[in-house]
């Protein structure tokens, strides 16, 4: 029976390679955003662009890396705010704003990472379903093909002629129909065995 081959899994080297690409790219993006934020001054609201490097880590890398990038982005925002000579009525406001930025970065990155994992899981489930459906279609096609043909059975050995070869019923069920079989004894055969044994047992004197 023809069966579809499963899709080969991605090599494990892909994930470190992705980390080597996305990691430096997100750091470069954070450095660029921080520099532009510093040049433009604190009058321009540049907060939203810090989500870009965090989102890159959340989509392509793991939770720990995303959390680290969120922490680094919050620290960068704090440093830029200090270097921009942004004065507050109370210095604690600066720390509170930095913590709020970090919290927003972390939540957004982790939510994006969760969405990516959900999408990947859905795609894996869809591929498994397509594989099962393809196997079911192959099995149905094979069974219909067998039903449309005249099956020749040996009158003496009870073997079936399949594609020019004589196979036993067990081989046919196992190899052709992919069935798991076991052996037992029918009541009729058991009664026949008992009758044969009773004939061979000598009567007691």
In a domain, 101, yes or no: yes
Q: How far is CA 18 from CA 13, 24, 25, 69, 175, in A?
A: 9, 10, 11, 16, 42
Say whether both 154 and 126 belong to one domain.
no
The vertex-74 CA angle with 69 and 77, nearest 5°, equals: 125
Say whether both 114 and 162 belong to one domain.
no
Say whether both 76 and 166 belong to one domain.
no
pTM strictly above 0.85: no
Give the pLDDT mean for 136-162.
Answer: 77
Say whether both 20 and 52 belong to one domain.
yes
Say whether both 21 and 53 belong to one domain.
yes
Give pLDDT, residue 16. Answer: 65
In a domain, 115, yes or no: yes
Pinpoint the alpha helices (H) of the chain: 14-40, 51-60, 63-83, 91-148, 169-171, 187-200
The yes-or-no verdict on residue 162 having pLDDT over 70 is yes
Q: Is 159 exposed, middle or buried (0-12, 13-18, 19+ CB in 10 A)?
A: middle
Report the chain's mean pLDDT, rounded to a whole number.
82
Closest CA to 172 of 163, 14, 69, 58: 163
Residue 50 CB neighbour total at 10 angstroms? 27
In a domain, 7, yes or no: no
What are the phi and psi torsion angles at 90 (to 5°)? -140, 135
In a domain, 8, yes or no: no
Q: Could you tell me the pLDDT band of residue 184, with boundaries at 50, 70 and 90?
A: confident
Give the pLDDT mean for 185-190.
Answer: 83
Domain that holds residue 163: 150-205
Higher per-residue confidence, 154 vs 151: 154
Q: What is the pLDDT of residues 80-93, one digit of tens each?
A: 989 888 888 888 89
Say whether both 121 and 154 belong to one domain.
no
Say whether both 90 and 55 belong to one domain.
yes
Long-range contacts of 77-82 (CB under 8 A, 24+ apart): 77/34, 77/37, 77/47, 77/50, 77/101, 79/34, 80/34, 80/37, 80/38, 81/42
Give pLDDT, residue 111. Answer: 94
Residue 45 gets the label, from left (phi > 0), alpha (psi -120 to 50) or beta, of: beta
Q: Could you tell me the pLDDT band of residue 13, with boundaries at 50, 70 and 90?
A: very low
Q: Could you tell me the pLDDT band of residue 183, with boundaries at 50, 70 and 90?
A: confident
Question: Where does a domain end: 79, 97, 131?
Answer: 131
Q: What is the pLDDT of residues 93-145, one digit of tens each?
A: 989 989 999 999 999 999 999 999 999 999 999 999 999 999 888 878 877 87
Give pLDDT, residue 149. Answer: 67
Say whether both 91 and 175 belong to one domain.
no
CA distance 163 to 166: 8
Say whether both 93 and 50 belong to one domain.
yes
What 8-state DSSP symbol labels residue 50? G
The residues, any chain, with a CB within 8 Å of residue 146's CB and separated by 6 or more, are 176
In a domain, 136, yes or no: no
Say whether both 124 and 156 belong to one domain.
no
Question: How many separate domains does the chain show?
Answer: 2
């Amino acid at each position: 029976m023809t069966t579809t081959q499963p899709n080969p899994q991605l090599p494990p080297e892909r994930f470190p390679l992705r980390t080597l690409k996305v990691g430096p790219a997100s750091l470069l993006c954070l450095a660029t955003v921080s520099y532009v934020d510093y040049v433009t001054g604190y009058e321009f609201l540049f907060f939203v662009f810090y989500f870009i490097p965090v989102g890159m880590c959340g989509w392509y890398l793991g939770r720990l890396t995303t959390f680290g990038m969120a922490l680094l982005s919050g620290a960068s925002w704090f440093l830029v705010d200090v270097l921009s000579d942004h004065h507050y009525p109370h210095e604690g406001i600066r720390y509170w704003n930095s913590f709020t930025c970090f919290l927003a970065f972390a939540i957004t990155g982790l939510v994006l990472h969760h969405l990516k994992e959900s999408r990947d899981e859905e795609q894996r489930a869809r591929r498994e379903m397509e594989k099962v459906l393809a196997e079911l279609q192959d099995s149905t096609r094979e069974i219909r093909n067998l039903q449309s043909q005249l099956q020749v059975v040996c009158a003496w050995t009870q073997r079936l002629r399949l594609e020019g070869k004589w196979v036993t019923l067990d081989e046919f069920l196992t190899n052709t129909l992919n069935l798991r079989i076991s052996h037992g004894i029918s009541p009729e055969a058991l009664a026949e065995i008992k009758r044969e044994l009773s004939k061979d047992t000598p009567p007691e004197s």
